[in-house]
Amino acid sequence: MVMVKATFLGHACVLVSTDTHSVVIDPFLTGNPKAAAKPEDLKVDAVIVTHGHGDHLGDAIEIANRNNCPIIGVYELVTYCQRKGAKQGHPLHIGGSYNFPFGRVKLVPAWHGSAFVEEDGSIVYTGNPAGVLLFIDGKTVYHAGDTGLFGDMKLIGDRHPIDLAFLPIGGNFTMDIDDAVEATKLLRPKIVVPIHYGTFPVIEADPKEFAQKVQQAMPEVSVKILQPGESVSL
């Protein structure tokens, strides 16, 4: 029986693997004080990036080139990566999807920003931020990227019943715990994993508080608090 395994690598980085394929999302490893892997450790078939901030784009270009695989994201972000040396890219946009050898990727909205600050201080626009739906071996994994709470999360859950959701809880730049609980109510995943907290002081949050509030509001949802390097299987 094929099993889908999702491994939390720290901050917002998630590695989704099956018996035959692996995909990494938002590989911020170098410079991440809580990273559970190094870029050279990853053997993947694709790199998915939700938006163009450094703590999500991270090591995407290095990992993609090392594995001879595409970077997947919105058009502007993929174009930026290719200009920076990425050898392969597959641009999508919000609402678009594509069937890859490992499964289907669909981009959905996220309420955030997306731009990369160059070394000279200039800012390069990298398109709309996105959430990601990954359909792989009969399972649906939702990675919200960086986002605030929005009502169309209910539509995402209605259209695509979610087996596993990764939601930011750290506040300041994204949803805080209470908003992430509301997001869980709208999305109705079977399992939810909190991410994007505790990496830096400004996004400190208690995942146990999140778990308690979700269990009170939706006892049918399983909350998995993963330490960097830990996994959940579907």
Report if residue 232 sits inside a domain.
no
Which residues, 6 or more positions from 13, have their beta carbon under 8 angstroms from its beta carbon? Answer: 24, 25, 26, 27, 28, 29, 32, 35, 58
Report if residue 88 sits inside a domain.
yes
Average pLDDT over residues 156-167: 98
For residue 48, the model assigns a pLDDT of: 98
- pTM value is 0.97
- Residue 189 sits in a domain whose CATH number is 3.60.15.10
Rounded distance between C-alpha atoms, residue 68 and residue 148, angstroms: 34
Considering only CA atoms, which of 156, 137, 133, 118 is closest in space to residue 50?
Answer: 133
Report if residue 198 sits inside a domain.
yes
Considering only CA atoms, which of 158, 150, 161, 144 is closest in space to residue 107?
Answer: 144
Average pLDDT over residues 43-63: 97
DSSP letters, 2-69, are: ---EEEEEETTEEEEE-SS-EEEES---TT-TT-SS-GGG---SEEE-SSSSHHHHTTHHHHHHHHT-
Report if residue 230 sits inside a domain.
no
Residue 6 contacts residue 232 (beta carbons within 8 Å):
yes
User: Structural domain of residue 146, as residue ranges?
Assistant: 5-224
For residue 228, the model assigns a pLDDT of: 98
For residue 39, the model assigns a pLDDT of: 97
Q: Give the number of other Cβ atoms within 10 Å of residue 23's Cβ.
A: 25
Residue 74 contacts residue 53 (beta carbons within 8 Å):
no
Residue 16 contacts residue 23 (beta carbons within 8 Å):
yes
Report if residue 229 sits inside a domain.
no
Residue 5 contacts residue 193 (beta carbons within 8 Å):
no
Residue 208 contacts residue 227 (beta carbons within 8 Å):
no
For residue 2, the model assigns a pLDDT of: 60
**pLDDT-based confidence at residue 63 (cuts at 50, 70, 90):** very high
Report if residue 55 sits inside a domain.
yes
For residue 175, the model assigns a pLDDT of: 98
Answer whether residue 173 shows pLDDT above 90.
Answer: yes
Answer whether residue 72 shows pLDDT above 90.
Answer: yes
Report if residue 231 sits inside a domain.
no
Angstrom CA distances, 184 to 51, 127, 140, stand at: 22, 26, 15
Considering only CA atoms, which of 112, 96, 115 is closest in space to residue 149?
Answer: 112
Answer whether residue 1 shows pLDDT above 80.
Answer: no
Average pLDDT over residues 42-54: 97
Query: Average pLDDT of the chain?
Result: 97
For 8-30, write each residue's pLDDT tens digit: 999 999 999 999 999 999 999 99
Overall domain count for the chain: 1
Average pLDDT over residues 36-65: 97
Report if residue 13 sits inside a domain.
yes
